[in-house]
Chain A
Amino acid sequence: MGRRDRPRRATGRPTKRVLATRLRFETLLAELSAGLIHVSAPDTGVAIERALRQVVTFLGVDRGGLDEHAEGRPRLHLSWARPGLEEPPPVTAADQFPWVSRRLREGEVVRFSRLAELPEAAAIDRASFERVGAGSQVLIPLRTGGPILGVLSFVAVRAGHAWPDDLVARLRLLSEAFAGVLDRRRMELSLAERLRFEQLLSSLATAFSHLSAADFDPAVQHGLRQVVDFLGIDRGSLIEFTRDGTAARSWAVEEWMEVGEFPWMTARLQRGEVINVSQLEELPDEAAVDRQSYLLHRVKPQVAVPLLVSGIVVGGLVFSTVGAERARSDELIQQLHLLGEVFANGLARKQGELEAQRLRQDLTHIGRVSALGELTASLTHELSQPLTAILSNAQTAQRLVAADIVDLESVREILSDIVADDKRAAAVINGLRALIKKGEPEFMPLDLNVIVGEVTWLLRSDTITRHVSMSLELAPDLPRVHGDRVQLQQVVLNLVLNGFEAMREPHAGARTLVIRTARDGAATLRTVQDSGPGIAEKDLGRIFEPLYTTKTEGLGMGLAIVRTIVHAHGGAVGVENNPQGGASLHVTLPVAPEGAQ
Chain B
Amino acid sequence: MTAVAPLVLVVDDEPSVRKSLTRLLGSAGYPVEAFASAREFLAREPHPGPCCLVLDVRMPGLTGIQLQELLAATGRRMSIVFVSGHADVRTSVKAMKAGAVDLLTKPVDAHDLIAAIQRAVTKDERDRATEARRAEIQWRVRLLTPRETEVFALVVTGMLNKQIAVALGIGEKTVKVHRARVMEKMRAGSVAELVRLADEAGVTVPTT
Contacts and interface: CB of A to CB of B under 8 A. Distances in A.
A370 interface: no
Contacts of B58: 381, 461, 464-465
Given A385-B16, A420-B16, A393 B86 contact: no
B159 interface: no
A405 to B, nearest CB: 8
B207 interface: no
Q: Which of A396, A424, A463 has the most CB of B within 10 A?
A: A396
A116 B145 CA distance: 171
Q: Which of A395, A417, A421, A464 has the most CB of B within 10 A?
A: A395
A377 interface: yes
A7 to B, nearest CB: 134
Interface in A455-469: 461, 463-465
A399 interface: yes
Q: How large is the interface on B (under 10, 10 to 19, 20 to 34, 35 or more residues)?
A: 20 to 34
A392 interface: yes
Contact of A385 (B17, B27, B105, B113): B17
B28 A399 contact: yes
Interface string A396-419: 101110010000000000100100
Contacts of A420: 16
Given A377-B86, A461-B58, A385 B20 contact: no
A49 B161 CA distance: 159
Contacts of A385: 14, 16-17, 85, 106
A394 to B, nearest CB: 9
B45 interface: no
Interface in A256-306: none
Contacts of B14: 385, 388-389
A463 B27 CA distance: 35
B180 interface: no
B85 A396 contact: no
Interface string A463-499: 1110000000000000000000000000000000000
Nearest to A376: B86
Contacts of B59: 464
Contacts of A421: 16, 20
A463 B13 CA distance: 14
B202 interface: no
Contacts of A391: 107-110
Contacts of A400: 27
B80 to A, nearest CB: 17
B142 interface: no
B27 A396 contact: yes
B24 A395 contact: yes
21 contacts: A381-B58, A385-B17, A387-B106, A388-B21, A388-B83, A388-B107, A389-B14, A389-B17, A390-B20, A391-B109, A392-B23, A392-B107, A392-B110, A395-B24, A396-B27, A399-B110, A417-B19, A424-B16, A461-B58, A463-B60, A464-B63
Given A392-B23, A396-B23, 14 more contacts: A384-B85, A384-B105, A384-B106, A388-B106, A389-B20, A391-B109, A391-B110, A392-B113, A393-B23, A395-B24, A395-B109, A395-B110, A396-B27, A398-B110
Interface of B: 14, 16-17, 19-21, 23-24, 27-28, 58-60, 63, 83, 85-86, 105-111, 113
